[in-house]
Amino acid sequence: MEYAIETFSLTKVFADWWGRNRVCAVEDLSLKICYNEIFGLLGPNGSGKTTTIKMLLGLLHPTKGRSVVLGGDATDPKINARIGFLPEESYLYRYLSARETLEFYGRLFKLPSKVRKMRIESLLDMVGLKAVANRTVGTFSKGMARRIGLAQALINDPDLLILDEPTTGLDPIGTRQIKDLIIELAKRGKTILLCSHLLADVEDVCDRIAILYGGKIQSEGKVKELLQRSDKTQITTGHISDMAVERIKQIVSGEQADCVVTSPMDKLETFFIRIVAAAQQQSQPTSGAVSTTQIGNFLTAGESILDKLVSANPAEQKLSAPTDTQPARRADDASSRQVAADKEYQTKPDEQLLSKLTEQSKPVATEPVVTDKNAKAQQLETETDEKEQTRKSILDGLTEDGM
């Protein structure tokens, strides 16, 4: 049980109708994926990434070898209940609405009705499809379908998340959100297996990667170790005078090394989000912008909500004006877009931009969430903490139910 996923010489050969072997999709694959790790499976098209995932999940029978997922066989319902799977195309029923889709998958997980409803609302908020929740999925664009696919992968609060090309079809903002979500989920103890050929996305989030080609692993290891170029050194400074630059150059030449001085490049993603945010903000009323900044500032301050909750003492449930018979209301759309809730990952200014961009102009309603842990946490928070907490509690809602 030390590895979340372990494969032993997994092989898949596709034969044609006459039994002749046609395609060796995966050959002798031995992977070890630890718990609480973000693992990236990379490779060009046709290298066997999706086939590997299908074998792990029992959709295909391996020709040779075997795999152990979460200590057992992935076709076992007990193990299945802890896995979330996002296939490479969001294979969803086109005639169901977004809400009905999540309802259906929630039922398959045997979630109690109240928990199911609450999670559905949280997830719709999180993926930003609240407004179109009652439209049939068949009318969605690819990106929107992808988001619903992600939502159904998360509805059971899985321990293991298998994402096959999660960012294809999403715009840069959506991609950013998913990356932040993945990192946040990893922080909460989940294991994530990511399959992609979009290298930039994988580079940002993964701890370890494996590169597949022709069904075989060509390279495997920690991202930092693999990508680090130990033969060079990079120094980044703030604005310094030309004289200082000259002096640095001289020091470096003294070491018999080359020195190249340039201005570092902004990442295109960051630039894009900044421009779009600026454009959006020009049409937003002032009140919306003000509250945004508050959230951004507070969240970059450091301590995550999870830590606060963990250290919270059990307290009486504090029920306020909204009736306690209702499931926790996520009327707070402003917080819905804050997938990028974890500011510890990036303390760059673009984080605030992202939240600015995805915030709606509605003022935030301070309705406390009616679940035990949240209520307990509220006891210890100050007024501003309350506001921030309700907004951030989308993911909390997912992981707290203890179901």
In whole angstroms, give the CA distance from residue 323 to residue 185: 31
Q: Does 64 bind other proteins (CB under 8 A)?
A: no
Q: Give the residue, chosen from 7, 52, 80, 360, that forms a contact with other proteins under the rule CB under 8 A.
A: 80
Closest by alpha carbon to 327, among 253, 220, 401, 244? Answer: 401
Residue 402 CA, chain-centre distance (Å), reads 20
CA angle at residue 96 from 90 to 98, to 5 degrees?
Answer: 65
Q: Does 59 bind other proteins (CB under 8 A)?
A: yes
* Structure tokens given for 355: 């939240």
Of the listed pieces 71-79, 205-213, 379-387, 395-403, which binds other proteins according to CB under 8 A?
71-79
In whole angstroms, give the CA distance from residue 334 to residue 288: 9
Size of the site for other proteins (CB under 8 A): 30
In order, the DSSP letters of 64-112 are EEEEEETTB-TTSHHHHTTEEEE-SS----TTSBHHHHHHHHHHHTT--
Q: Does 22 bind other proteins (CB under 8 A)?
A: no
255: CB partners within 8 A, 6+ apart: none
Q: Does 109 bind other proteins (CB under 8 A)?
A: yes
The Cβ-side half-sphere exposure at 58, using a 13 Å CA radius, reads 12
Q: Give the residue, chosen from 28, 73, 100, 372, that forms a contact with other proteins under the rule CB under 8 A.
A: 100
Taking the complex as a whole, the smallest distance from the CB of residue 58 to other proteins amounts, in Å, to 7
Q: Does 65 bind other proteins (CB under 8 A)?
A: no
- Could you give the strand order of the β-sheet that contains 208-213, starting from the edge strand earlier in sequence? 83-86, 160-164, 191-196, 38-42, 208-213, 216-222
Are the C-beta atoms of residues 127 and 71 closer than 8 Å to each other?
Answer: no
Residues between 223 and 252 with contacts to other proteins, criterion CB under 8 A: none
Closest by alpha carbon to 96, among 125, 122, 121, 133? Answer: 133
Of the listed pieces 31-39, 78-86, 117-125, 204-212, which binds other proteins according to CB under 8 A?
78-86
Q: Give the residue, chosen from 95, 131, 253, 311, that forms a contact with other proteins under the rule CB under 8 A.
A: 95
Of the listed pieces 82-90, 200-208, 214-222, 260-268, which binds other proteins according to CB under 8 A?
82-90
Q: Does 132 bind other proteins (CB under 8 A)?
A: no
Closest by alpha carbon to 116, among 71, 170, 154, 73? Answer: 154
- DSSP-derived letter for residue 139 is G
- DSSP-derived letter for residue 387 is H
User: Bridge partners of 163?
Assistant: 86, 194
Q: Give the residue, chosen from 13, 24, 60, 331, that forms a contact with other proteins under the rule CB under 8 A.
A: 60
Q: Does 87 bind other proteins (CB under 8 A)?
A: yes
Rank residues 87 and 296 by Cβ distance to other proteins and give the closer one: 87
Taking the complex as a whole, the smallest distance from the CB of residue 41 to other proteins amounts, in Å, to 17
Of the listed pieces 39-47, 93-101, 187-195, 312-320, which binds other proteins according to CB under 8 A?
93-101
Taking the complex as a whole, the smallest distance from the CB of residue 39 to other proteins amounts, in Å, to 18
Q: Does 54 bind other proteins (CB under 8 A)?
A: yes
Cα dihedral value 125, 128, 134, 139, nearest 10: -160
* Structure tokens given for 357: 């961009």
Q: Give the residue, chosen from 47, 52, 122, 152, that forms a contact with other proteins under the rule CB under 8 A.
A: 152
Q: Give the residue, chosen from 23, 24, 34, 57, that forms a contact with other proteins under the rule CB under 8 A.
A: 57
Q: Does 23 bind other proteins (CB under 8 A)?
A: no
Of the listed pieces 32-40, 86-94, 124-132, 184-192, which binds other proteins according to CB under 8 A?
86-94
Of the listed pieces 73-81, 265-273, 281-289, 318-326, which binds other proteins according to CB under 8 A?
73-81
Q: Does 83 bind other proteins (CB under 8 A)?
A: yes
19: CB partners within 8 A, 6+ apart: none
Rank residues 48 and 87 by Cβ distance to other proteins and give the closer one: 87
Kindly list the residues in this chain that would bind other proteins in the complex (CB under 8 A). 54, 57-61, 74, 77-78, 80-81, 83, 85, 87, 89-93, 95-96, 100, 104-105, 107-110, 149, 152
